Every structure is written in structure tokens, then in C-alpha cells.
Amino acid sequence: MRLERHENATSFLERTSDFLLEREAQHNLILGLAARLRTEPRLYGEDPYFAVALDGERVVGAAMRTPPHNLILSEMDDDAALEPVAADAQAVFASLPGVVGPKEPVARFARIWEERTGANASIGIQQRVYRASEAILPEGVSGSSRPYEEDDRSVVLAWMDAFVAEALPQAPPEDAGHWLERNLSSPGSGVELWVDEGAPVSFSGYGGQTPNGNRIGPVYTPPELRRRGYASALVAELTKRLLDGGRKFCFLFTDLANPTSNSIYQRVGYEPVSDADQWVFGGRGSHPH
């Protein structure tokens, strides 16, 4: 087992694309982010990190990071890859805010990281990856979808802040304004709104374009406007538009603690694929190892 570090997204994808594309839904976060970093390597202000675990010449796992965000792990075809990945990440970064990826590999990585660094690892959010190859449009929902317009800026920023406060275990490194600018400026990404009686009532971002798919999210409806079908209808319409535009799949992540989102998306054509967890590392101590 050996680890190969890559200087840029292009060489990383050349090495890993076959491995990652065998499970495109599970790897949609890595694939979408790495594709964007090919053209904007310092998208988040720092050099990205790419590592590939190899058994001989066979890729058995991959990891990447855009500091100051979490480390992202791929599926691991051999658990023995986790130790060298952790050792290399520790050599490069010393500490990490957390790790995200497929449920079993990230849990094992978190334990290894605790042992290596003395950090305290805890589950931040448990998610499920969904994939749709068709969209089922719900009937009887009032309103319609439309793309983001500049006049929507204040409401989308407020809703994004509300989404972060409600749904995420820790605030992301970039604020809502940076998220919005990045989403609006990137090919294959954007923001869509559901409008009822002339007023926005729900929004969804989309982006993370993979070779065959697009990721949808975040999706947010203010509490006082929920249970009217707005989010379901918005995601269904956006999914249909992306599929009609040539995408084979759309992907999304749901929070397993939110049974509503896990049921509504299945009704509009999404099927569960796998589980993905985010672990948070706190108490950044260190001890000899």
C-alpha cells in the first residue's frame, strides 16, 4: 500500500477517474469539486490537497481537501489505505476541522485521527446520498419555478444563513455571500426559486457537476411556508430541467435526522444509494504516537 500525492486536480482525476466513476453517486462531491478545481485551483484561497491510495498500480481510495474545509474521503476498497491517508494528511495539515465521506471509511478514519492527534472525534451530521435518473413532478402545488434574479439576493442570503443555522453542525468557512457568488459564477451551477403569488417561497442551489450528473442543494423553505409542497415541486422541476439538458443523473444529500426530506425526494424520483457522514474534530490536542 502506498500513497501518491497529486499537485493538481487534472493529474488527480487522470489517476482516479475510473475508480471514482464506478460509483459516481457516492463520489459526486469529490468529482464535482475536483472538476471545478481544474480551472480554478485556488477557488477557496489556498492550494488544494489530493492524495491517492494505491495497491500496486490499483487505486483503492482517494482523499482531497480545499482548506479550510473538511477532508473528503472516497469509498475505500482496502481499509489498509486509511492509515497512510491519515499519516499524510497529518503531515500536511497537523489538524483538521473534520472529515466527510462514506459512512464506514470515515468512521474508521476518525478513530485513526483520534489516536494519531489526540483530537476528539464526534459525528456532526449523518447523510444519505440519493440519485435520480427521472423526475416525477408533483401535482397541485401552487406557483412555479424560475432562475435566480438579482432582486432575490437579500432573501436568498437570509435563507442560506437560516439553512446553515438549522441544518449544519458547524458553520462552513465561507459565508452566504461568498457561496452565492461562487454558485452564480460557476458553469453547471446556479440557484433556482419557487415563486407563489409573485413572492419567493423556497430556493435550491445546484452545482458540483460530475461527468454525468449534477448535485442539487442546499434546499430551504422558511418554516412558516413548509408542508405546502414547495420544496418537492422545486427539486422536481430543477431535476427535470437538468436531466432534459443532458445530465444522466441528479444527486442530492439528505440529513437522516430529517425524515421529511428523506420521504419527499423519493416521491419525486430520487432513490437512496449510500450513507455518508461528517465527523467533527475538536480539542486539538496531540500526544506521542
Cell of 101: 465521506
Per-residue model confidence as pLDDT tens digits over 114-135: 999 999 999 999 999 999 999 9
Q: Which among 174, 147, 149, 145 is positioned nearest to 161, based on CA atoms?
A: 174
Residue 155: phi and psi, rounded to 5, are -70, -40
pLDDT tens, position by position, 138-152: 999 999 999 999 999
Element (H, E) at 117: helix 103-117
Per-residue model confidence as pLDDT tens digits over 243-259 = 999 999 999 999 999 88
Question: Would you say 137 and 285 are in contact if contact means Cβ atoms under 8 Å apart?
Answer: no
What is the Cα–Cα distance from 130 to 125, expressed in whole angstroms? 16
Model pTM?
0.92
User: Which residues share a beta bridge with 255?
Assistant: 127
Q: What span, in angstroms and rounded, lies between the C-alpha atoms of 172 and 179?
A: 10
pLDDT at position 285, please?
41
Which of 239, 244, 181 has the alpha carbon at shortest distance from 215?
Answer: 239
User: What integer pLDDT is reported at residue 258 of this predicted model?
Assistant: 86
Phi, psi of 279 (to 5 degrees): -105, 145
Those residues of the chain that have pLDDT short of 70 are: 283-289
pLDDT at 287: 35
* Cα of 267 vs its chain's centroid, Å: 22
Domains defined for the chain, CATH in brackets:
2-127+277-282 (3.40.630), 135-268 (3.40.630.30)
| Strand ranges for the chain from DSSP E | 2-6, 49-55, 58-65, 71-73, 98-102, 120-132, 144-147, 190-196, 199-207, 213-220, 249-255, 271-282
* Cβ atoms < 10 Å from Cβ of 278: 21
